Structure 1
């Protein structure tokens, strides 16, 4: 409860839903269109700091534990499958030859950081863009899509909570997921996921029946919470959109992007100019938070 109160008191939670949505759309776009190692390190580190500020230290640590395994997997697959570029180390067994290349290491790290940043950004988005905000924005335009999106986001949280409860319950029966060989761990996790899948399908069918019984879609949906556009929303949106446009312009000039993976480098001369607008864009929530607190005082 205390974490929720602290989150609601911060700037991003006080913004109009449209202003926050614009910022997150720009953030996801930048994560998709930038593939340089230095810039992805900047974005990932900034998102860790922002999630630490809005979600709390404990949740970020737990989130990083889960994200790191997926990032290592992505990096390992790139190192294993990408055999182009300068060779750092080579190993041969009969007709098979494995090459550890500079391109594979750098590009794999970049893709892993981009994926990790995307997951962190989505978790942060899910924390800020609550169900009332999404409903306020989407229900007047696409009510069915809005309902599908809000239910999906809610189901992700419920699925995680149920999985943790199931793991804790199975521990009382001496069934521990983290013990045993990799095969045994996969088998235990598979059984848990099968139980959760059956439970999720049952809950989805029950939700559909309840929605039909309450006449969903027959009348226009009302809102129990309204939002007003303020001067803070205007300043925040204009500043973030302006920085996003500058970043897009630099991206179309070819900065922050390598088309040919075989020529992938960790640094280019033009990337230094890209760091400045990108860092300011990522720091907009913090800068706005400082200004917001000063105005309140």
Structure 2
């Protein structure tokens, strides 16, 4: 029964990510055009972490918050991830959303993630990562006050604002509840563990089959959302875009590994815990996206690149 409930939750999560358009690239692009609300709502999507943290002790679970001291690895990783995200025209979450809607060029992005993770196993950079204590009751109280303020602001807005803010907050809440069931439920964690099992089958057993079912349910929910928006359509691609997205995915894979997580982990597990490294990483991700969009626009102007 618990597993079926998790499947339903992750399917609803996939549906919400599709219809709300959760994507940092979109947020940065609109912010650069003087419309910051989408980006702010994405950055605040984990504000309901206090709800999940309050439930956790009663179900014998913990939230795997990512709280670290800042360091060069987080800055470099965030910048690389942001550049890759801009070249990919979508973060890790929106990559899966667009793939579920039939955009075939996104097939090479997850392959790039794998290439990036494999490359780090050979490179093996020495980084000094120091963990910090997780959020305490004061942190949770601040999140509670912030979530109440954001909810009031959303209710005082029009239907579009309500859909945006409650959709983003709902995504954060559902994701947090899933962390209580399976701390490593995100697709990226599944892929990393599978790679570790391939490289070292004795020390790293392969992920359990229910983990794959959760990812499948996520993609099904995203496909249903795409159908609701009339976006479910198979779109062919050529070698050029596939290579570009492979490069972008590689940058994202290396960057996520250096920063101890991609944008999903940073938004849901680092920012709500007020992690100093999380704030540094997200800031560098946004800077990398802005730089990447500038590079792409320059190439478009010169006629050498067509997205």
Q: Which has the higher strand share?
A: 1
In the superposition, the TM-score normalised over structure 1's length comes to 0.28
In the superposition, the TM-score normalised over structure 2's length comes to 0.27
Where relative contact order (Cα < 8 A, 6+ residues apart) is larger, the structure is 2
